Amino acid sequence: MIQLFNVTKSYGKENVALREMTVHIEKGEFAYVTGPSGAGKTTFLSMLYGASKPTRGQILINGINITRMASRQIPYLRRKIGVVFQDYKLLNSRTVYENVAFALEAQGKKRYEVSKKVYKALKEVGLEHRLQRRPIELSGGEQQRIAIARALVVEPLILLADEPSGNLDQEVTLEIMELFKRANARGTTVLLATHDHSLYKRFPKRVLGLEDGRLIMDHQP
Amino acid sequence: MLENIRYFIRRALRNMRQWPVLCSAAILTMAVALATMATFFLVVINIQGLANNWSKEVQVVAYFQSPPPRNQLSPLIRQVEALPDVQQAIFISKAEAFKRFETRLGEDAGFLDGVSRDLLPASLEITLKAGSHTQEGVGRIVAELKKDSRFDDLRFGQEWLERFENFVDLLKFIGLILGSFFLFAALFIVSNTIKLTLYTRRDELEIMALVGATKRFIQIPFLLEGALQGLAGGLLSLGFLIVSFKLLLQKGLQTFWLTPVGFNPVFLDGNQQITLVLCGVLLGTLGSLVSLRKFVRL
């Protein structure tokens, strides 16, 4: 599903974010990407959804080399990938429903199809009763659940989560992890960047350890 | 396709409702820019109209060495009137010329007591056809008349005509320079206002790109929004122009006109009014396009 071959990403001559990284992640796999701040976790994920390109090396997603992809093809790649961020990236001027519908509308889906899928996705994360509320009126955990619903509503092949529990307490984190596990059980490949050791001890999965831009650990439980 | 168009319109309208302050700022900026340009244009077309009005008074006066006999006069007038630039030729006899002079002197006409009434020469007063009130038109008539030895002297305000035409040329030149300046200033201000509105909505643009919206899908509602704001700005500037023309400009122009005979300040005609509103639409769309190129990067 995801294949990286000798991928290096540098910003200028001095600042190397990722060094010679080679890794394969199978379809339907669940993997943690761990490491201290500045280890290269966010850079790694951002290259997978086409937000940045590697300086050297190749990245294949579902057999397609995305390093050679024209910028006009990137939106089509992103339609297969759901992304969840630590800061949720929600629009506070829109309702919960509109935030989730945004992902489907961007793909040109029909109105009736949008409403059906959005309701289903919000029910999945337990927020179907909050449709008309604005994200700012809700708790951090609820906001992250909206972001997850937006990522999952398009039924992505891959779900990327960059420190999704960074701003949340332990109890909410466990709820969020349950959502990721359920998505994974349905066949979505999940890649979760975190520096929270307790998370992968509690939910043991494959761990990719990064440090100073290098892959220093690839551990299967 | 129809679903997409409906979606784009819905989103453009919703965006405008969600950001009323920014939307009003963009509309007002465009309205002010367009009204400034249109006011200037209005003044220019009125001064040109006035200039044309003045030029209608340009005529050629051909003085006779000695007035032709009656039987030669009518053929001569017909011959002059046959010239392509001539509207009409009127014979002014010596007696009539003297009478006019007397009238012009008014109370001082007494000075002419004892002066011979055939002192002033007889003449042909030649008025010009529309479009011939130019140096070239006058030049053609004068060249023809000079061939006729019966005419002693030709007066046609050559110097005045030259100055007048130079003035009109200068006016057009200033109009072109200032018009271009206003146009670029308006485009600059509008694109910056829209840039500001897009800057405050950069999260929305980022999220759209993130969930897989194509560049076109992101841009179209913003372009539509720019066009709608431009339309509103254009209509607002037209309304402002109509009111200010009726209340201020019309009076101001009438006071300014030195020769108000037969001249009324004119407003923009139907086509020009439509052009003004379309300029607003174009300005809004271009302003959005210029700004979007910077903000929408996938």
Please give the pLDDT value at position B250: 67
CATH number, residue B126: 3.30.70.3040
Look up the pTM and report it.
0.69
Which residues, at least 6 apart from A48, have a Cβ–Cβ distance to it below 8 Å?
A2, A59, A61, A66, A81, A158, A160, A191
Please give the pLDDT value at position A157: 94
- Interatomic CA distance for residues B276 and B224, integer angstroms: 18
Please give the pLDDT value at position B298: 46
| Residue A128 CB-density burial (10 A; 0-12 exposed, 13-18 middle, 19+ buried) | middle
Q: Do B73 and B218 share a domain, yes or no?
A: no
- Best of A93, A150, A153 to substitute, by most chain B Cβ atoms within 10 angstroms, is A93
Nearest to B212 among A76, A110, A111 (CB): A76
- Best of B7, B205, B207 to substitute, by most chain A Cβ atoms within 10 angstroms, is B207
The string of pLDDT tens digits covering residues B139-152 is 888 888 888 888 88
Mean of the pLDDT values across residues B49-78?
Answer: 81
**Which residue from B minimizes the CA distance to A89?**
B207
Q: Do B15 and B134 share a domain, yes or no?
A: no
The string of pLDDT tens digits covering residues B99-156 is 888 888 887 777 777 777 788 888 888 888 877 777 788 888 888 888 888 888 888 7
More confidently predicted of B298 and B20? B20
Q: Do B193 and B291 share a domain, yes or no?
A: yes
Q: pLDDT band for position B257 (50/70/90)? A: low
How many domains is chain B partitioned into structurally? 2
Q: Is the pLDDT confidence value at A131 over 80?
A: yes
Q: Do B112 and B260 share a domain, yes or no?
A: no
Q: Do B181 and B286 share a domain, yes or no?
A: yes
Q: Provide ipTM, 2 decimals.
A: 0.85
Q: Do B181 and B291 share a domain, yes or no?
A: yes
Q: Count CA atoms closer than 13 A to B67's CA, side-chain side.
A: 19
What are the b/e assignments for A47-77, b being 16+ CB within 10 Å?
A: bbbbbebbeebebebeeeebbebeeeebbeb
Q: Do B41 and B103 share a domain, yes or no?
A: no
Q: Which residues of B touch A (CB under 8 A)?
A: 3-4, 7, 18, 203-204, 206-215, 217, 298
- Interatomic CA distance for residues A119 and A131, integer angstroms: 8
Which of the listed residues B105, B139, B156 is the one where a domain comes to its end? B156
Which of the listed residues B156, B174, B199 is the one where a domain comes to its end? B156
B7 contact residues in A (CB cutoff 8 A): 105, 111
Q: Do B291 and B176 share a domain, yes or no?
A: yes
- Residue A22 to chain B, least CA–CA distance (Å): 25
- Best of A73, A76, A100, A105 to substitute, by most chain B Cβ atoms within 10 angstroms, is A105
Q: Do B123 and B168 share a domain, yes or no?
A: no
The range of the structural domain enclosing residue B139 comes to: 59-156
Q: Do B258 and B119 share a domain, yes or no?
A: no
- Interatomic CA distance for residues B200 and B194, integer angstroms: 10
Which of the listed residues B113, B137, B156 is the one where a domain comes to its end? B156
Q: Do B78 and B226 share a domain, yes or no?
A: no
A50 contact residues in B (CB cutoff 8 A): 298
Q: Do B212 and B74 share a domain, yes or no?
A: no
